[in-house]
Amino acid sequence: MATFKQRDSGWWQAVVRRKNQPPQSKTFPTKKDAEAWARDIENKIDRGVFVDKAEAEATSLSKALSRYLKEVTVRKKSHQMESYRIAVWQQHKLADRSLASLRSQDFAQYRDQRLAQGMAASTIRNELAIISHLFNTASREWNIPVTNPILGIAKPREKNERERRLLDGEESLVLSTFAGAARFCASVEHNHWMTPLFVLAIETAMRQSELVNIDWKYVDLKRRFIHLPDTKNGTSRDVPLSSRAISALESLPRNIKGKVFPTTTDALKKAWQRALKRGRKEYENELKAQGKSQEEVDADGMLINLHWHDLRHEATSRLAEKLQMHELMKVTGHSDSKMLARYYHPKAEDLAKKLA
């Protein structure tokens, strides 16, 4: 039987007690609302379809994210980036809401707001993926009765095929920026590992995370390759080294044990952005000193919209001119040849020579 009690505030508390069921209670502004809720709970209990949502109602999204960070994120290869995204989520107003109260429309609105702010579709998809996996984990492993609200919304379409290549002279400009050469301000702050990291990136097409996690014990300079025991797609691979890549590695202080680059992806990213920003400023000043108009300066794309990941595209494009597709797959670690097809644009006359 349900019981009803009016509080000092004037609101009515309904309490439903049934055998083998934890007590259910909720407060309403009127007794009529309390009675309607109690009848609904009793009816669901009688039909065996009642689900106790007390824990889901008591757990905020922020609290659930903290648990997810400790139990799930720490086991992921991308835990550093995901930790950052979780921290961003916990600053959002939705983080204060209970898991039980969150609906698909809440995250659809979030998606639209992020798109309006100019965020990349891939970034928004990654942010929503965390919430989706959190709800699945809460339901399957934490025994919290929730429904995944992300399943009910459309994800923004990704356009991942960036075609940004290094411009003529841009490679030298980047290296000069790292070195703090006379072309730029000598006091430019930069991670001193950036030059060899940059060289290896454009010579090997290794991913950012793969580069910063190279261990000396897997570097074989005599046989000219680096062994990667654990990559993004869960497999290992051997990356061949060009003469230039060998030189970059030989220039480094060598430890018998330990990482080749004692830095992090976050430090690399910050150093990259800082160097490009300051390098671009010095480059613009030089163009102006040469008498270039502001319009001409703005039209020059040197060091503009250049991402670290573009270096993998640059390296893959260069390697595609030397290697066949099945060979290139071994180097880059792509598991699907379709992703590499865009790097191959043979000319008709070259194909005709092969047929002759």
User: Could you give the residue numbers annotated as active site?
Assistant: 207, 232, 309, 312, 334, 343
Classify 321 as helix, strand or coil: coil
Residue whose C-alpha is closest to residue 210's, from 200, 221, 222, 195 = 200
Query: Are the C-beta atoms of residues 231 and 330 closer than 8 Å to each other?
Result: no
Give ∠ CA 53-56-61 in degrees, rounded to 5. 160
- Count CB-CB contacts under 10 A for residue 314: 19
What are the DSSP E strand ranges found in the chain? 2-6, 12-16, 24-28, 219-220, 225-228, 237-240
Q: How far is CA 276 from CA 132, 203, 210, 300, in A?
A: 35, 20, 22, 14
Residues in the chain: 356
Half-sphere exposure of 327 (CA within 13 A, CB side): 9
The token duo for 324 is: 């066949």
Strands 2-6, 219-220: parallel, antiparallel or unpaired by DSSP? unpaired
